[in-house]
A = this chain, B = another copy of it.
Amino acid sequence: MRFSLLIVGITLFVVSVSAQSKLKYVNPLIGTSKMGHTFPGATVPFGMVQLSPDTDTLSYAIGGKYNPEIYKYCAGYQYEDPTIVGFSHTHFSGTGHSDLGDILIAPTSGKLQLNPGVAFNPKSGFRSAYSHQNEIAKPNYYSVLLDDHKIKAELTTTTRVGIHKYTFSKQDSSHIILDLISGIYNYEGKNVNTYVRVVDEYHIIGFRQTSGWAKNRTVYFAIEFSRPIKSYGYDDFQSKKVYQGFWRKFNLKDNFPEMSANQLRAFFDFDLDSSKELLLKVSLSSVSMEGAVENMKYETPDWNFDQYRKAGESLWEKELNKFDVQMLNEGDLTNFYTAVYHTCLSPTVYQDHDGQYRGLDFSNWYNKDRSLVNYTTFSLWDTYRALHPLFNLVQRKRNADMVNSMIAHQKQSAEKMLPIWSHHGNENWCMIGYHAVSVISDAYNKELQGIDYNQALDACIQTARTRYFEGIGSYIDLGYVAEDKNGSSVSKTLEYGYDDWCIAQMALGLKRMDIYEEFSKRSENYKHVFDSSSGFMRARMSSGKFIEKFDPLETHQAGYIEGNAWNYSLYVPHQVDSMIELMGGKKRFASHLDSLFTMQLADKYFEHTEDITREGIMGSYVHGNEPSHHVIYLFDWVGRSDLTQKYIRQVLKTKYLPKIDGLSGNDDCGQMSAWYIFSSLGFYPVCPGSDDYVLGSPLVQSAKINLENGKIIEISTKNQSEKNIYVKAVYLNNVKMKDFILSYQSIKNGAKLVFEMTDKPSKTF
């Protein structure tokens, strides 16, 4: 009884969201605890500046050994931490390795301290205790009370400028610490050089040059204070004494207008007026200090904090308004719009307002056409799956810019390769595959404008033929990556095969048939690592032999990366039918696939599974990491759409929760969130580069996707409820669909999609 009443209650409770109110459904704190690796700070959509509190900035290594504690701090902030060190201007959202955290500002009062101190003892340094009760995190606004210093900190941003508003409790003894040592995933030797110049009593400029995940990176900055600097200085925290040359004739640490050191923390002292307010504008540039100055002049000519905050909120409203969704409850709305928010945090703008940016070749490049924007932070192993396909629906201009940024990257690259995992004008070579080709191929398929696709295809081909890259030589010669030539050989062979299919499709479209032939052949290489004796994709040696030691549930064994044989063996998104055939046909495959979700995973396997919480997995299905993101949709191919629907709804309701620790794995630059958005809308791009979306089970009550061409994709449901998770029928523009494939062509100019929901499972449409 109670149960049915509950259901009635839910079906009646349809949440209607007006355009004005969507902001309130975004909670930037979601994912800041445990594995989400998101940051709570202020930013505009795709902003170059992402200004956020860092609760700790540990060293990546201690005594030469990796420090496992560091992993929590990929975004600089962990909700459980009792102290805030300061506010830095660059952050990744949701990554599983890290960098950035540049130009940390800490307002302090009382006795000057230049050491940050340690996390659980705020009195040990300039860091401060804080309480979540005094913390507000909203799109483009973050505020917190720094208890130790009795300073209210408020942050907002424009694309290239962070605006800080600090309200002190006293007029005197007010300091701003500029910490150029602090950074995320720091270690000894990462800071190559830093420089600060005091231009006048209101302005400073400088740069921080690091060699970390990005091997050669310089962040230039400019800072303007709302009140004159009274006095300033710095300390060099380098353990080794450094050569000073004839600079030693000055008292460099006392009001000398240049500071240059390897481990530099500067301070600036102020006398405040009765408002006790001190505002800062901090602008960044990848090009030069002058570039940072110009960005500030252009974007933030005055001191109107509230105006910048509101302008950023409007930008967020514009992004959120691309989706008008109705959900069954507020929690789902929070999930949905927070997911939209998270998909707009990366890639980020990496270009000065005048069109200049620092390329991968350390040269300054120039988008003379100011409508072109260079982007950075391509976590492609993650984001090619659903984030860029989502952009092809709702961020078409930006995604074209991103594709062009990738093509520019290839031109600038020493290896002449498209980005693998790139950020801040650097290739960091993280993860595997060459999935930029998937993004490019999908852009081609989705008819993005403003891209030279023949040039793009050349870039794809050159990338895919780079023999020294991760076993490609053996892949070309043998038809698979040989494990003795290059590790994670199964994962690589499978992902290369899919990428090659993307290249082939694009070549076909562009009528370059020799390329089509070459890469079509390569796209079938997955067959060469299928071991019919075990029924799994399995690592092979150059000799042709499969490796002997093999446990399909073990992630950390030869052949795989961030996924075990069970999950990875399902990765042939471009030839699902053929894969099913290989694995014993539809019937066998259906039960095999279901067992993935129903098996009991022994703890020893879970302990080896990366990047996720125990809540992130179902059986051995790992939603908290990417290799399986398409897997649930495979039931559609074998006549078990009911299982697709069931598990999709299960993931949507259990792996994404509207609370601080609600993300079951790294958000991975928006990929996890993009999965949520697609799946809650009822379809998913199993094979980017193709025209096809695959139907699942919508979570929305109804939704409008407002396309850039002014057209609308309207999704509505009948009998939608928490219980009615099965799809009885789907109508596209009032015609009943006979298949689980929804084509891009059928929705690109708007469409009406109606899902008839039921609590009765049906194996096919």
Asked whether A64 is an interface residue with its Cβ less than 8 Å from the other chain, the reply is: yes
Closest-by-CB residue of B relative to A290 is: B363
If the complex has contacts A245-B213, A414-B258, are A289 and B240 also in contact, measured as CB distance less than 8 A?
Answer: no
Pick the residue among B64, B216, B245, B251 that contacts A212 (CB under 8 A). Answer: B245
Task: Contacts A216-B193, A216-B195, A361-B289 given; indicate if A428 touches B211 (C-beta within 8 A).
Answer: no
How many angstroms between the C-alpha atoms of A603 and B289 in the bound complex?
A: 53
CA distance A242 to B207 in the complex (A): 22
A430 at the interface (CB under 8 A from B): yes
A187 at the A/B interface (Cβ < 8 Å)?
Answer: yes
Query: Which residues of the partner chain B approach A240 to less than 8 Å between Cβ atoms?
Result: 189
Contact A289 B429 (CB under 8 A): no
Q: How far is the CB of A196 from chain B (nearest CB, A)?
A: 9
> Which residue of chain B has its CB nearest to the CB of A256?
B468
Q: A11 contacts which chain B residues (CB < 8 A)? A: none
- The CA of A215 and the CA of B261, in the complex, are separated in Å by 10
A188's closest neighbor in chain B, by CB? B240
9 more CB-based (< 8 A) A-B contacts, given A198-B414, A212-B245: A189-B240, A193-B193, A193-B216, A212-B243, A246-B421, A246-B430, A249-B470, A251-B468, A288-B362
Q: Write out the residue numbers on chain B whose beta carbons fall within 8 Å of the beta carbon of A470.
A: 249
A475 located at the interface, meaning its Cβ lies under 8 Å from any Cβ of chain B in the complex: no
Q: Which residue of chain B is the closest to A245 with respect to CB atoms?
A: B213
Distance in Å: Cβ of A583 to nearest Cβ of chain B: 30
Task: Give A128 Cβ to nearest chain B Cβ, in Å.
Answer: 30
Within 8 A of B (CB), among A243-300: 243, 245-247, 249-251, 255-258, 260, 288-290
Contacts of A241 in B (CB 8 A): 64
**A657, B415: Cα distance in complex, Å:** 56
Closest chain-B Cβ to A535's Cβ sits at a distance in Å of 30
| CB-based contact A211/B468 at 8 Å | no
Indicate whether A411 reaches chain B with its CB closer than 8 angstroms. Answer: no
- How many angstroms between the C-alpha atoms of A199 and B414 in the bound complex? 7
| Cβ distance A282 to chain B, nearest Cβ, rounded Å | 18
Residue A364 interfacial (CB < 8 Å): yes
Closest-CB distance, A382 to chain B (whole angstroms): 15
Give Cα A20 to B635, complex, Å. 90
A429 in contact with B247 (CB, 8 Å)? yes
Q: Are A290 and B361 in contact (CB under 8 A)?
A: yes
- Does A289 contact B362, Cβ atoms closer than 8 Å? yes
Tell me the minimal C-beta distance from A302 to chain B in angstroms.
25
B428/A245 in contact, CB under 8 A: yes
CA distance A190 to B64 in the complex (A): 23
Chain B: which residue is nearest A187 at the CB level? B243
| Bound-state Cα–Cα, A470 to B248, Å | 11
Interface residue? A192 (CB, 8 A): yes
A571 interface residue (CB < 8 Å to B): no
Closest to A429 in B: B246
- Pick from B211, B257, B288, B289: contact of A415, CB under 8 Å: B257
Is the CB of A197 closer than 8 A to any CB of chain B? yes
Q: A216: which B residues are within 8 A, CB to CB? A: 193, 195, 260
Contacts of A357 in B (CB 8 A): none
Q: Are A197 and B255 in contact (CB under 8 A)?
A: no
A619 CA / B258 CA spacing, docked (Å): 44
For residue A60, CB closer than 8 A to chain B, the reply is yes
- Docked Cα-Cα span, A198 to B414, in Å, equals 7
Q: Known contacts A246-B428, A362-B288, A428-B246; decide if A260 and B215 are in contact (CB<8 Å).
A: yes
- Report how far A187 CA is from B242 CA in the complex, Å: 10
The distance in angstroms between the C-alpha atoms of A189 and B421, with both chains bound, is 30
Residues 338-392 (chain A) with a chain B CB within 8 angstroms: 361-364
Interface SS of A by simple majority: loop
A193 in contact with B207 (CB, 8 Å): no
How far, in whole Å, are A216 and B259 apart by their CA atoms in the complex? 11
Closest B residue, CB atoms, query A293? B363
Which residues of B are found within 8 Å of A211, using beta-carbon distances?
193, 242-243, 260
Q: How far is the CA of A241 from the CA of B65 in the complex (A)?
A: 11
Q: What's the Cα separation between A713 and B364 when bound, in Å?
A: 50
B257, A207: Cβ atoms closer than 8 Å = no
CB within 8 Å of B: which A690-719 residues: none
Closest B-chain residue to A99, C-beta based? Answer: B245
Our pick among B249, B258, B289, B362 for the contact of A195 (Cβ within 8 Å) is B362
> Are the C-beta atoms of A245 and B189 separated by less than 8 Å?
no
Within 8 A of B (CB), among A153-193: 187, 189-190, 192-193
Task: Give the residues in chain B near A289, CB-CB below 8 Å.
Answer: 361-363
Within 8 A of B (CB), among A180-230: 187, 189-190, 192-193, 195, 197-199, 207, 209, 211-213, 215-216
A288 to B363 CA separation, bound complex (whole angstroms): 6
Question: Which A residues between 427 and 470 are near B, CB-CB below 8 angstroms?
Answer: 428-430, 468, 470
Bound-complex Cα distance A430 to B245 (A): 8
B residues less than 8 Å from A215 (CB atoms): 245, 247, 260
Q: Please, how many angstroms separate the alpha-carbon atoms of A163 and B469 in the complex?
A: 35
Q: A258-B415, A414-B257, A415-B258 are in contact. Are A190 and B290 (CB under 8 A)?
A: no
How many Å from the CB of A482 to the closest CB on chain B?
A: 16
Bound Cα distance A216, B428 (Å): 26
| Cα–Cα, bound, A429→B252 (Å) | 13
In contact, A362 and B246 (Cβ under 8 angstroms): no
Q: Which of A287-339 contact B (CB under 8 A)?
A: 288-290
Contacts of A190 in B (CB 8 A): 243
A364 to B220, CA, bound (A): 14
Partner of A364, one of B195, B255, B288: B288
Q: Which residues of B contact A257 (CB under 8 A)?
A: 414-415
User: How many angstroms from the CA of A246 to the CA of B97 in the assembled complex?
Assistant: 10
Q: How far is the CA of A246 from the CA of B381 in the complex (A)?
A: 14
13 A-B pairs within 8 Å (CB atoms) are namely A60-B243, A61-B243, A189-B240, A192-B192, A192-B193, A193-B193, A197-B361, A198-B414, A212-B245, A247-B429, A249-B470, A255-B468, A289-B362
Q: How far is the CA of A361 from the CA of B421 in the complex (A)?
A: 32
Q: Could you tell me if A414 and B468 are in contact, using CB atoms closer than 8 angstroms?
A: no
Alpha-carbon gap, A213 to B246, bound state (A): 8
* Chain B residues near A362 (CB-CB < 8 A): 195, 207, 288-289
A210 CB to nearest B CB, Å? 10
In this complex, what residue of B is CB-closest to A189? Answer: B242
CB distance from A690 to the nearest CB of B (A): 30
| Chain B neighbourhood of A364, CB < 8 A | 288, 364
Contacts of A198 in B (CB 8 A): 414
Asked whether, in the complex, the Cβ of B192 is within 8 Å of the Cβ of A243, the reply is: no
Given A189-B240, A192-B192, A193-B216, A468–B245 Cβ distance below 8 Å?
no
Contact of B258 with A189 in the complex, beta carbons under 8 Å? no
A249 cross-chain contacts in B, Cβ below 8 A? 429, 470
Cα–Cα distance between A215 and B243 once the two chains are bound (Å): 9
| Interface mask (A462-496 → B, CB under 8 Å = 1, otherwise 0) | 00000010100000000000000000000000000
A242's closest neighbor in chain B, by CB?
B189
